[in-house]
Amino acid sequence: MAELSEQKTGEEKRRRRSSKGETRRVEIMTAAMRRFAEDGYQNAAIGDIARDVGLSLPGLLHHFPTKVDLLLAILAQRDLESADFIEHYRSDLSALLNGMVAIFRRNAEMIEVVRAFAILNAESLMKDHPAKPWFLARATQMQNDIAATFHRAIADGTIDARIDSRAMAAELISVMDGLQMLWLRDPTRFDMVAGLEAYVGRLLASLSLEG
């Protein structure tokens, strides 16, 4: 019985350490996002990120050995969020379009995160940027997923078969990116959610779908 009790105590301690470590990792990633939003990835200093969360540089490097590791962890978390979005909204075209508005509404509450990803996206166009493969794969996957939803709507007769699914997907992505940039430049003067709602409403009407 004593051995069993000691085993349980050891497991509980490991769980607490694991939970504490995960909490610290989230704090570090959140601080990194703020720095990336302010300075960009290239200019952000990992030592500043460590100080933002009350850690020494070796303390931060215990969780993320390099700035690239930190960036990749942030992108991996974003991958999970993107997968949740696709699973929840891709059932049909109307749901997908209205789901995009819902995502914009959520994003409007976390401007630092949106700004950081917009900056990273632009920076990733540079040669050998560590986020370049991720943003390329993300853009390709997003276009493929949206186009697939349009294609299903064509297949079931919901929309005109002459519609170019991939062109529509590219248009949607461009509209979302453009509206987001206008909002980031001056959130007090431009409502990106209302802008996307208006666009989606016009698109749904032109496709003869119910909004």
- Domain with residue 125: its CATH number is 1.10.357
Q: In this structure, are 151 and 204 located in the same domain? A: yes
Give the per-residue pLDDT at 211.
44
Q: What CA–CA distances, in Å, run from 187 to 82, 100, 107, 117, 179?
A: 24, 19, 12, 16, 11
Asked which of 65, 98, 115 is the last residue of a domain, the reply is 65
Q: In this structure, are 80 and 176 located in the same domain? A: yes
Give the per-residue pLDDT at 197.
96
pLDDT in tens, the chain (211 residues): 555 555 555 555 455 556 787 899 999 999 999 999 888 898 999 999 999 999 999 999 999 999 999 999 998 888 777 667 667 777 789 989 988 998 899 899 989 889 999 999 999 999 999 999 999 998 998 899 899 999 999 999 889 889 999 999 999 999 999 999 999 999 999 999 999 999 999 998 888 754 4
Give the per-residue pLDDT at 52.
95
Asked which of 65, 85, 120 is the last residue of a domain, the reply is 65
Q: In this structure, are 17 and 77 located in the same domain? A: no
- Looking up tokens 């630092």 gives 112
Please state the pTM of the whole predicted model: 0.78
**How many domains, in total, are found in the chain?**
2
Q: In this structure, are 182 and 88 located in the same domain? A: yes
Q: What CA–CA distances, in Å, run from 10 to 4, 15, 18, 197?
A: 10, 9, 12, 53
Asked which of 65, 97, 120 is the last residue of a domain, the reply is 65
Give the per-residue pLDDT at 20.
81
Mark out the alpha helices in the chain (DSSP H runs).
2-43, 46-52, 57-63, 67-89, 93-107, 111-123, 132-155, 165-185, 192-206
Q: In this structure, are 106 and 174 located in the same domain? A: yes
Comparing C-alpha atoms, which of 33, 58, 31 is closest to residue 131?
33
Domain around 22: 1-65
Give the per-residue pLDDT at 17.
53
Q: In this structure, are 54 and 100 located in the same domain? A: no
